[in-house]
Chain A
Amino acid sequence: MWGSNAREAHPIWFHHLLKGIQNGAKLYVVDPRRTSSAAWADVWLGLNVGADVALANTMAREIIHAGLVHQSFIERGTSGFEAYKASVEPYTLEFGSAISGIPVDVIRDAAHAYASADRAMICWTLGITEHHNAVDNVLALINLSLLTGHVGRYGSGCNPLRGQNNVQGGGDMGALPNKLPGFQDVDTVAHRVKFEHAWGRDIDPLPGLHLSEMIDAMDKKTLTALYVIGENPAQSDADATHIGHLLEHLDHLVVQEIFLTKTAQLAHVVLPAAATWAEGEGTVTNSERRVQRVRKAVELPGDARDEIWIMAELAKRLGYDWGHPSAEDVWNEVRALSPQLSGMTYARLEELDGIQWPCPDTSHPGTKFLHARLWEDDPSRRGRLAPFSVVHHAGPVEQPDDEYPLILSTGRRLESYNTGVQSGGYLSPLHRGESLDVSPEDARRLGIAQGDIVRVTSRRGTIDAPAHIDRGLRAGVVFMTLHFPDEVATNLLTINATDPKSGTAEFKACAVRVEPVRTAPSYSPARAETFAAAGDD
């Protein structure tokens, strides 16, 4: 597991991992923090924030030098090996160790264990992708899997754990600036013509803007109207002061939401919508590409409307009469235009409890894992070879310096979720609000005790938060979540340095300074006492 705290962010997936551990699987966790996931690891590799490519390339060089590459797979299924091999040559164990902070022996052990395993999988999450070089990080991990043949076979592969219940489905449906539904390219003529024919109108062949590009376009006033569906960018995006300013100065902002979020409060028009997972019909796609049915359990409250109804009515106002299609009607249109989803009728999704794509026809059982074609003997069935990619270490955009000596990383906790719009709706003893998590070493150096209010300052903003001393943190790294933006707006601190290839922002690393403000109020376990009294009645 690389840059993932699945024990808290994907708890039920972690149950399956724990079964693997009980069956003798070895777990290596690469993470700057010794997380509750890392607590289950045979080996924890506590690397410096942003040293991922350096570590992966160092492991690759060690695998190559130790003769542990999967030579026949490289020859059969990949391209670009020689250039890749040359590119990792400078990443000696000593060099990788110096950059990553992980001892030489530990890197060597991890490299040998991964390469020698009968089956091995690399799973990652936002620890890999929330960096300014996110795509390079991913490519560095893919390189390792190609090098060792741990891809395209049951029990191996590269597995990005999706963080939201339909982030995969959004991609499936073409909610990407360069894709049509079913991951068909908007700039591929055959794909585009098929949709133009079905929809009876031309489609702009130029890819649209992704989120970060939209933010730039708002800044340049080339984007002046925004329609936001179920997202809270005023609080979820990096450098929140800047984002808030841009949203406030749009000519027109429409927000379709289930709550009056901070973003909705800035809108000219709010369209109250269904919480479709419980109030409507449709599908979502989970992290294993399994398309699953969501169903209506309760009625919509107040003026809220079904999301397909809202879009159909919007279309009507714009001069297009779509009628009022059901979720299944819409899905059948998706199936008709997306070969990899064609076999998934609502009836089959029901019967099989979800189906993993590709599922090209109604007799196809779905596909457990991808890229098996790379192992085919017949070159025509093997298709395009998987390319090695040359990628190099480039640490975080902001490096610690005298003025901002600590690296702030952000992430999730078990009981909460994103900006708290959903997870703020219930109480639990685990909800402890926002804190600045700090290592015992830094706390001692800065004179901070548990619960003290500290001031955290980056080049973009300043916030106050209670300190939480976390023995899982190494000196030099502090940690916060984005879960309680109304109490502590963490994103005032984060940096809007984005990956040019994917547009993701570097939520995992910005430089900050921490100063004590005042000591903690004396501890008062008021809630526990309230419950004790109730229990005694």
Chain B
Amino acid sequence: MSLTIDGRKVSVREGTTILAACREIGIEIPTLCFLETLHPINACRICVVEVEGGRVLVPSCSRAAEEGMVVHTQSSRVKHSRKLVLEMLASSVDLSTTPQVAEWIEEYEAKPERFGPPAPPAAPGTRDASVPGHHAPPNPEFAATVAEPAKIDNDLYVRDYAKCILCYKCVEACGPDHQNTFAIAVAGRGFDAHISTEFAVPLPESACVYCGNCIAVCPTGALMATTEYEKRAAGTWDESRMTTTDTICPYCGVGCTLRLHVDDGVIVKATSPLENSITQGNLCIKGRFGWRFVQNRDAVPGGNGAGNGDGR
């Protein structure tokens, strides 16, 4: 079928999304909640485009292309909408580790600061304890934020929900799209909505199996391996000087591709490529976190544990 995007004719296969059609002809559309390996959830609305004859803007990540469709990706309505989305997100969420968002804010002339200075972080646990329908009156001096202290409750990864845009990717990856563990879901309503374990218990008491497939899909760095979190906090995380090498996981016989991120001769992170047919970017706890023995060779394995020291 064929459609017109920004005045250009495009032919695509039935079922192709507008976003995929745009990417085929090199038109860039910003996305946050979209990922090729997850079902589109239409949460963030940053990828909206205008379809002629349509009453409202449509999310390009999920809307299928139709024969004869005329699409505008840079109309004033589109730009205005993306600007608004960016202003609301950037005023309420810490986007400091979200790739590309600074460029988009500039491109769409978003002014998140116009809502005032960000409100101070909520006390630990208060957002978890929020009751649907109960809201504190707004404070006009501050821009409302989702800021709260990072949740550090296990050895392997940190949940810094001050950076969470509620894109649902972690929920989908933990749930039906990949892992099917269902350790997390969105709890609460409206501005109080947040990602939560069952009854907001710490991760070690939850159903979590530490595959880290939520980290792999998180677009903002709200979910981060402890190694990376600590190096960022120390100011020593510099991706420009890291190398990546694809190899195969040393554990079971499935043969998951491990992409080792190496900084100054030291492995600091393991991921798997999204396009890998075996993993689709997913790993288990051993693949994502079990590589540490390699760099702790002086340890005697067993009871005293290779790497029970700083084996992160």
Binding site for B on A (CB under 8 A): 9-13, 15, 18, 22, 40, 161-168, 235, 258-262, 272, 275, 277-279, 284-288, 290, 292-299, 301-302, 304, 353-354, 414-415, 417, 419-430, 484-487, 527-528, 531-532, 534-537
Residue contact B155 to A429, C-beta cutoff 8 Å: yes
Partner of A424, one of B202, B250, B257, B305: B305
Most buried by A among B149, B176, B246, B282: B246
Q: How far is the CA of A417 from the CA of B267 in the complex (A)?
A: 20
Residue contact A429 to B210, C-beta cutoff 8 Å: yes
Partner of B301, one of A40, A279, A301, A421: A421
Residue contact B248 to A429, C-beta cutoff 8 Å: no
Binds A, one of B15-23, B97-105, B163-171, B292-300: B292-300
Q: B-side binding surface: helix, strand, loop or mixed?
A: loop
When A and B form their complex, which 5 residue pairs have the shortest distance between CB atoms, in order from nearest?
A: A286-B255, A425-B293, A162-B253, A486-B303, A486-B302
Q: A-side binding surface: helix, strand, loop or mixed?
A: loop
Q: How far is the CA of A204 from the CA of B257 in the complex (A)?
A: 38
Partner of A302, one of B205, B254, B297: B297
Residue contact B297 to A9, C-beta cutoff 8 Å: no
B235 contacts the other chain (Cβ, under 8 Å)?
no
- Sample of 21 A–B contacts (CB below 8 Å): A12-B279, A13-B254, A162-B253, A262-B302, A277-B250, A288-B255, A292-B248, A297-B267, A298-B265, A298-B267, A298-B294, A354-B255, A414-B285, A415-B286, A422-B251, A425-B296, A425-B307, A428-B155, A484-B303, A536-B124, A537-B149
Residue contact B290 to A422, C-beta cutoff 8 Å: yes
Given contact pairs A278-B267, A421-B306, A167 touches B253 in the complex (Cβ within 8 A): yes
Q: Other than the known A429-B155, A429-B208, what 7 A-B pairs have Cβ atoms closer than 8 Å?
A: A162-B253, A259-B306, A272-B297, A278-B245, A298-B295, A417-B290, A424-B293
B311 contacts the other chain (Cβ, under 8 Å)?
yes
Partner of A421, one of B245, B246, B293: B293
Given contact pairs A293-B247, A528-B153, A532-B153, A426 touches B252 in the complex (Cβ within 8 A): no
| Chain B residues with CB under 8 A of A293 | 246-248
Report B244-281 residues with CB < 8 Å from chain A CB.
Answer: 245-257, 260, 262, 265-267, 276-280
Residue contact B285 to A287, C-beta cutoff 8 Å: no
Q: How far is the CA of A421 from the CA of B251 in the complex (A)?
A: 11
Given contact pairs A423-B290, A430-B210, A531 touches B153 in the complex (Cβ within 8 A): yes
Minimum C-beta distance from A466 to chain B (A): 15
B86 contacts the other chain (Cβ, under 8 Å)?
no
| Chain B residues with CB under 8 A of A260 | 300-301
Residue contact B250 to A422, C-beta cutoff 8 Å: yes
Interface residue tally for chain B (C-beta within 8 Å)? 72
Minimum C-beta distance from B156 to chain A (A): 6
Residue contact A527 to B204, C-beta cutoff 8 Å: yes
| Chain B residues with CB under 8 A of A485 | 302
| Chain B residues with CB under 8 A of A235 | 302
Q: Closest residue to A285 on the B side, CB-wise?
A: B255
| Chain B residues with CB under 8 A of A292 | 248, 255, 257
Partner of A10, one of B156, B245, B250, B252: B252
Residue contact A535 to B151, C-beta cutoff 8 Å: yes
B152 contacts the other chain (Cβ, under 8 Å)?
yes
| Chain B residues with CB under 8 A of A429 | 154-156, 203-204, 208, 210
Q: How far is the CA of A294 from the CA of B260 in the complex (A)?
A: 11
Minimum C-beta distance from B242 to chain A (A): 11
Partner of B247, one of A11, A294, A537: A294
B211 contacts the other chain (Cβ, under 8 Å)?
yes
B1 contacts the other chain (Cβ, under 8 Å)?
no
Residue contact A11 to B307, C-beta cutoff 8 Å: no
Q: Closest residue to B151 on the A side, CB-wise?
A: A535
Q: Closest residue to B178 on the A side, CB-wise?
A: A15
Residue contact B294 to A10, C-beta cutoff 8 Å: no
